[in-house]
Chains A and B, each alone.
Chain A
Amino acid sequence: MSNSTAEPVKPLSTEQLSATTLLRFATAGSVDDGKSTLVGRLLHDSKSVLTDQLEAVERVSASRGADAPDLALLTDGLRAEREQGITIDVAYRYFATARRRFILADTPGHVQYTRNMVTGASTADLAVVLVDARNGVIEQTRRHAAVAALLRVPHVVLAVNKMDLVAYDETVFAKIAEEFTAYAGELGVPEITAIPISALAGDNVVEPSSNMDWYGGPTVLEHLETVPVSHDLATCHARLPVQYVIRPQTAEHPDYRGYAGQIAAGAFRVGESVTVLPSGRTSKVAGIDLLGQPVDVAWTPQSVTLLLEDDIDISRGDLIVPSGDAPATTQDVEATVCHVADTALSVGQRVLLKHTTRTVKAIVKEIPSRLTLDDLSQHPEPGRLVANDIGRVRIRTAEPLALDSYADSRRTGSFLLIDPSDGTTLAAGMAGDAFATPADEAAQAGAADDEGWDF
């Protein structure tokens, strides 16, 4: 057993543990960029790998004739992955430091698994894009940057790995960082942090590297621990998709009628005037229950129950919004979709569209273009999208939807397309423009002191 895992860990106090926040992040990298090693190193060096897990890795590594434990074995969980030595699907990892708890969506790097990076990035506050220092920015790097930009991941880390193989050379790092920052910046990625690392040797992953004195920035873990995850909600559009109507109808609560849901964006206050979409009926917030406890104000992503002053007809699928800040409703959706199923999506196809808590019938009217992520070129009228394709679509829905632009709200601007015949998830959709423009970013930066990103 290696010394580093045998060291006793100082337990965190209960107070320390409960005050920590949660950061969700995703990793992306090409096949041999060392992503599994980076993930293994983060888990291992943050003391999140326990003795029995490491022993299992050591046992398997030894049985294969390896002289050192293969940290990648910590993350490849399925039989087929172990057999083939590749990662075939998104896996979720958990680790914690005194400052923060982390949920890592560990996404495979194979080109045929673009959909998995989309899956991982959809809930991520931050994406780590790995690059091999010897190869620099390659097509796959640009794809990963484009997916992070498309999914509007608020923070992107460029981890330039294998610095040990380029003699820890500052100019190699600077050139790659500059090229990536320029490319991702053009796509509208709001914040890019470049870090030179060696996942294998442990440089700048958890511990600062003595091999790169020229680098004055944070290690990967330090950055993960300190990057801001919450935002000034005053500038967000408040949205509550109604999930479920709570009506106890008991002697104790004969008239209780609450609209339960998770606040998708912004905040709601008691006394506020609200509008219910798509009906357009209005009322006032009479009370907010935060899981059984009355509160005056609640915000995203809290799960709450809203009580209204008027007894109006509201059911699952409706959207409650502040009366002065309602999105337009529409039956014509323009969006970018990432196709995630093995069967194609074609013009004229009938699908189900799931938006927040509402599922409606829909038809694919047009597929105006397919995007090539490598160079961001558009192929007009492809007719159909197949697995891992990203394209623009026009969809007509059977009922009006209160849809925000994905740029304004990742929760209320996203949707799924579902095959009505067997329930397969066909595509992940993002309403509105595909990429943010740097100009938009500049305008947003001027309007608020935070990035204006929204969960």
Chain B
Amino acid sequence: MTTVAKVTDEGTDSPYALSHLDALESEAVHIFREVAGEFENPVILFSGGKDSIVMLHLALKAFAPAAIPFSLLHVDTGHNFPEVLEYRDRVVAEHGLRLHVASVQDYIDRGVLRERPDGTRNPLQTLPLTEKIQSERFDAVFGGGRRDEEKARAKERVFSLRDEFSQWDPRRQRPELWQLYNGRHAPGEHVRVFPLSNWTELDVWQYIAREDIELPGIYFAHEREVFERAGMWLTAGEWGGPKAGETVETRLVRYRTVGDMSCTGAVDSDATTLDAVITEIAASRLTERGATRADDKMSEAAMEDRKREGYF
């Protein structure tokens, strides 16, 4: 990290200009500190994916040299990449954090949720998540959602009020003015907070490179046994793939997002370093979700509908 940023561009000759990454970092830290100052029991949603890893890194910087005043919550679909779970547990131990786990598998075992015919567990995350928020009385829940991800997300506030059923109503959002975030809520309601709202996928990667943040290995090119479904490379596994007619082959791939194995696809890639990943993303003509998320393709309003129900 530079002590004094000396950035100039054609638009300004001021030595006080901040690079866009410094500006985004400063804004995110401001958001973390606002929540720490105004809420009783915040939690960071942590999946072991790059966005939540960046969130955790920002939170650590925001409160240094003190520990972060939040615990972590992982919604465990039961179909996780083992490398990601290993990473999660290592990070939690390293920083002395408290980890809550909401388990989809528990809900299925108890008969509360039923496995979908397509094996996709992403839509099943909403109930365990919202019940955990209620039972632990979390009043602010940090998510790594970015407004560049999807059209419905582009409308999301940084502080997004959810009712006692965790529902999002896009027509009843509070206007968000200046940097004055209004986190007031009634008992039972909570606020979803998105410190990375203004970041793009490329910003996240550049920041990871600049800050030299460690990631799970699945983000870098590696050989993996995959099969093709709906135009994506899925990892073979106990969750229900491959089916008859789908052939497993070994390919050089990496992941752009981390999620449930049943619906997160890998992309062909030989990018084994951060620089190579950034070059690849800058040249990519596909969005992150378009390339790798089956669940977003279900309908034009898939994300909006799931967000309304309480999903992130």
A contact set with B: CB distance below 8 Å: 5-6, 8-9, 11-12, 14, 17-23, 50-53, 56, 60, 74-80, 82, 88-94, 96, 99-101, 103, 115-116, 118-119, 122-123, 225-233, 243-244, 246-250, 252-253, 256, 260-262, 267, 289-297, 299, 301-303, 316, 340, 352, 354, 356-357, 410-411, 414-416, 418, 422-425, 428
Contact = CB atoms under 8 A, between A and B. Distances in A.
B82 interface: no
A36 B17 CA distance: 31
A143 B200 CA distance: 32
Interface string B275-307: 100110011111100110000000011001000
Residue among A51, A291, A414, A416 with max Cβ neighbours from chain B (10 Å): A291
B301 A79 contact: yes
Contact of B197 (A60, A92, A296, A352): A92
B9 A50 contact: no
B23 A301 contact: yes
Given A230-B16, A418-B184, 18 more contacts: A18-B206, A19-B9, A78-B151, A89-B170, A99-B9, A118-B175, A122-B177, A123-B177, A228-B11, A231-B14, A246-B63, A246-B64, A262-B179, A290-B3, A293-B3, A301-B27, A416-B182, A422-B186
Contacts of B173: 89
Residue among A244, A252, A292, A352 with max Cβ neighbours from chain B (10 Å): A244
A247 B66 contact: yes
A11 B271 CA distance: 15
Contact of A244 (B1, B9, B37, B301): B37
B22 interface: yes
Contacts of B90: none
A80 B23 CA distance: 34
B37 to A, nearest CB: 5
A225 B12 contact: no
B154 interface: yes
B20 interface: yes
A338 B296 CA distance: 37
Contact of A115 (B155, B175, B197, B209): B175
20 contacts: A18-B206, A52-B287, A74-B151, A89-B155, A92-B197, A93-B148, A101-B203, A116-B175, A233-B16, A243-B30, A250-B65, A253-B66, A261-B33, A262-B26, A262-B33, A267-B16, A303-B62, A414-B180, A416-B180, A425-B175
Given A77-B154, A262-B179, A22 B37 contact: no
Nearest to B209: A14
Interface string B1-42: 101100101111010111111111111011001101100000
A158 B151 CA distance: 27
A93 B154 contact: yes
B9 A119 contact: no
Residue among B9, B18, B283 with max Cβ neighbours from chain A (10 Å): B9
A291 B7 CA distance: 18
A136 B177 CA distance: 30
A260 B33 contact: yes
Interface of B: 1, 3-4, 7, 9-12, 14, 16-27, 29-30, 33-34, 36-37, 61-67, 147-148, 150-155, 161, 170-171, 173-180, 182, 184-186, 197-198, 200, 202-203, 206, 209-210, 275, 278-279, 282-287, 290-291, 300-301, 304
A5 B290 CA distance: 16
Given A50-B290, A291-B1, A119 B176 contact: yes
A411 B208 CA distance: 30
B180 A21 contact: no
A354 B198 contact: no
A231 B285 CA distance: 36
B24 A256 contact: no
Contacts of A411: 178-179
Given A50-B290, A119-B177, A99 B11 contact: yes
B43 to A, nearest CB: 17
Contacts of A256: 65-66
A20 B14 contact: no
Nearest to A317: B37
Contacts of A78: 151-152, 155, 170, 304
Nearest to A420: B184
A-B pairs, top 7 by smallest CB distance, nearest first, are A77-B151, A423-B184, A52-B290, A11-B282, A248-B66, A303-B29, A292-B64
A419 to B, nearest CB: 9
Given A53-B290, A100-B9, A252 B65 contact: yes
